[in-house]
Structure 1
Amino acid sequence: MKLAVQEQLVPGRSLQEKFAFAVEAGFDAIELRGKGDFHFAGRLTELKRALADGVVMPTVCVDMPHFIGDFDPAKRKDAIQQLRSQLTVIGELGGIGVMTPASWGQFSLRLPPFEPPRSAEEDREVLAEALGVLGEHAQRNGVLIMLEPLNRYENHMVNTLADAVSYCAMDSIRVVGDTYHMNIEEDDPCRALAEAAPYLAHMQISESNRNQPGTGHLDWGAQLATLDAYGYDGYLALECRLRGEPEVVLPQTAAFVRKFL
């Protein structure tokens, strides 16, 4: 397993500077953020220059105001177009793929008004249709579209790894595990990882409190041993809040996680 860190967490004025810091701190790669309005495609020159300079950028985490599970058809359509573009770009860079939740912050069954404007069956139809389009585009570009489950307060459609696996209708649709969301939703995180292992393409890591690993109560030894036992050899990408200054806590975090690898 290799360590990555999201670009916004790392000090530096350019991707080259960020990567140099990340490597010195103990990371192997930078995880990119994919904003909307085709902003990510607008970075192609910057990204290609960074790639030529040796910056490792395997994955993109979507960073948009709306997603493929939005209740608004126009916003769903835009999210699909944005993700198609991001898949094309990461394909040009020789990366692994792009990850997205079904939605974020749109609705929770655990908070008022409790009744969503769309049925569970309609939710599934909407997501399956979007992922089908994106899966075909990903396949043509030699990359993956990766579905990330979020906790029940941030998303009402896909909360567990098993939920996400149920949408893997083609080889180019895969699953992202996030240790923070798993801590809330999975009865047994290690069992969930084991059962999802054939579909697991990427992992994002943060603590039970959403800060960096080592500041909460997650059993890192058990979860990382499970990933190793089932042959996961992808990235562990740091996506969290930092408790402390990045110059101090990022090297500490890399060292903490590497103790279990």
Structure 2
Amino acid sequence: MSDFPNQLGVHALVWVGDTSPGSVARAVHSTAAAGFDLLELSLHDAVNLDVGAARDALVAAGLGVACSRGLAFDADVSSEDPAVVERGATLLQESLRITHELGGTHLTGALYSALGKYGRPLGDAGRANVVAVLRELAKSAADLDMTLGLEICNRYETNVVNTAHDALRLADDVGADNVTIHLDTYHMNIEEDDLVAPVLAVGDRLGYVHIGENHRGYLGSGHIDFAGFFAALAQVDYRGPITFESFSSAVVSPGLSNDLAIWRNLWDDGADLARHARAFLAAQLEAAWSARSQ
């Protein structure tokens, strides 16, 4: 039995670049074999996802599931074009339905904008559209007893939410209890002053965590202060999922690789990467929770 209360997850893109039936089956098998509790599926490729088969595979493997996504510029809910916003709102509602049918209770990611570099700051009208769409999405999620996560992404991937302060302000404006904050150490490394203060600021509104190295490679091979971050998680009594996220152009589909600027192969063996990450996360969590109890 672990000395920490968190489920440990791994992003499916560690294993496969899409959500076709064969890829999902491989991701489920590999996730369970590596000792994780949860598989995160990106819905960027949802058109190829066999939801029923995926749910059956997850149940058979004893795995939990969470789903994440960003939007495209032609379905950007932060746009000032009503037709573009409507496409994004429809896509988000469909993503919520898929997550629910998979057996998940948490839809997270850049639910508020396209995933890509913007050429200007967010305008007031665009932000108002984000708030309106997320309010409706939160209502739909509440009806399904589900939560939403606002993932904080860096300035090169969105102009809506770049810091914990931004996310808290947006969540306050949406005004729904089931809208939570999603921290990601890779993005925090770019945008925050440190990795501790944002955790403390978010506190009990933290709903999901991504763990990624500063270059998105093997954990511990970069310069992120993971010990401080995990100690802060224990300090705020965070008991939710903690999911390892890492990308390499050896695995990620070309379209998403371009969106995320994955120009090099930081690794080519997902199984070795994931086993290392599982052990790294467990060691960090056990140390943090043990120190908290003393």
Offset, 1:23: 2.6
Partner of 1:22: 31
Q: TM-score, normalised by structure 2?
A: 0.78
The answer to whether 1:240 aligns with 2:246 is yes
Query: Which residue, out of 118, 121, 127, partners 1:107?
Result: 118
Partner of 1:220: 226
Aligned partners of 1:78 and 1:98: how far apart in 2?
18
Quickly say closer, same or farther: Cα 1:188–1:63, change in 2 above 3 A. Answer: closer
Partner of 1:192: 198
Aligned partners of 1:18 and 1:154: how far apart in 2?
26
Q: How many positions carry a matched residue from both structures?
A: 251
Contact between 2:153 and 2:187, CA under 8 Å: does it hold in 1? yes
Offset, 1:89: 2.5
Equivalent residue letter for 2:186:
Y
The answer to whether 1:48 aligns with 2:55 is yes
Offset, 1:219: 0.9
Partner of 1:111: none
Aligned partners of 1:129 and 1:79: how far apart in 2?
12
Equivalent residue letter for 1:87:
L
Offset, 1:186: 1.1
Partner of 1:176: 182
Partner of 1:84: 93
Offset, 1:260: 0.6
Q: TM-score, normalised by structure 1?
A: 0.87
Q: Which runs of structure 1 show a deviation greater than 4 angstroms over 4 or more consecutive aligned residues?
A: none
Of stretches 245-254 and 89-98 in structure 1, the one that deviates more from structure 2 is 89-98
The answer to whether 1:159 aligns with 2:162 is yes
Offset, 1:63: 4.9
Equivalent residue letter for 2:10:
V
Of stretches 55-64 and 191-200 in structure 1, the one that deviates more from structure 2 is 55-64
Contact between 1:34 and 1:64, CA under 8 Å: does it hold in 2? no
Query: Which residue, out of 136, 140, 145, partners 2:143?
Result: 140
Aligned partners of 1:35 and 1:246: how far apart in 2?
20
Aligned partners of 1:238 and 1:64: how far apart in 2?
21
Of stretches 129-138 and 147-156 in structure 1, the one that deviates more from structure 2 is 147-156
Equivalent residue letter for 2:116:
G
Aligned partners of 1:153 and 1:51: how far apart in 2?
34
Offset, 1:68: 2.5
Aligned partners of 1:106 and 1:160: how far apart in 2?
16
Aligned partners of 1:231 and 1:70: how far apart in 2?
37
Equivalent residue letter for 1:254:
R
Query: Which residue, out of 3, 11, 14, partners 1:9?
Result: 14
Unaligned runs of 5+ in 1: 109-114
What secondary structure sits across from 1:217 in the alignment? coil
Identity %: 26
Contact between 1:97 and 1:144, CA under 8 Å: does it hold in 2? yes
Quickly say closer, same or farther: Cα 1:182–1:175, change in 2 above 3 A. Answer: same
Offset, 1:14: 4.8
Offset, 1:153: 2.1
Equivalent residue letter for 1:26:
G
Partner of 2:47: 39
Contact between 2:15 and 2:26, CA under 8 Å: does it hold in 1? no
Equivalent residue letter for 2:242:
L
Aligned partners of 2:103 and 2:22: how far apart in 1?
23
Of stretches 239-248 and 163-172 in structure 1, the one that deviates more from structure 2 is 239-248
What secondary structure sits across from 1:181 in the alignment? helix
Equivalent residue letter for 1:39:
V
Structure with the largest fraction of helix? 2
Q: Which digits, 9 at most, give the CA deviation of each residue in 1:29-82, with x for residues without a partner?
A: 11011126x627x52222232244134243111154344223543232112111
